Amino acid sequence: MEKPNLSYIESMSGGDKAFEQKLIDIIKKEFPEEKQVYFDNIAASNFKAAAENVHKLKHKISILGLTKSYDVAVDYENNLIENRTEGKVEFEAILQNITSFLKTH
């Protein structure tokens, strides 16, 4: 599985470490909340709302340089819109991967 990285954030910052840290802090604050709402909607079989959650989470996946994972999220979001859960295991592994990464940054 690909590993999250800060390349995109670093390229946007132009070397401004304070800006980089601010973006990381925002992700650290928002990601766990968005992830929990996703899990709540999945547990309730509210697939349309879960698709919206995946849509929001895709942006963080992209910002963390996970291009293959982004494609997995796109496919999963489309499946959820059609009330199908194919891709759930892979998507949730991506969420865990990001969770672990954020604990160390």
What confidence tens digit (pLDDT) does each residue in 35-82 have?
A: 999 999 999 999 999 999 999 999 999 999 999 999 999 999 999 999
Q: Give the CA-trace dihedral at 35, 36, 42, 44, to 10 degrees.
A: -160
- How far is residue 14 CA from its own chain's centroid? 24
Q: What is the C-alpha separation between 20 and 28, in angstroms, rounded?
A: 12
Question: Would you tell me how many other CB atoms lie within 10 Å of the CB of residue 55?
Answer: 14
Half-sphere exposure of 74 (CA within 13 A, CB side): 7
Per-residue pLDDT at 48: 98
**What integer pLDDT is reported at residue 1 of this predicted model?**
84
Helix axes 88-103, 67-81, angle to 10 degrees: 140
Q: Domain coordinates of the chain in residue numbers?
A: 15-103
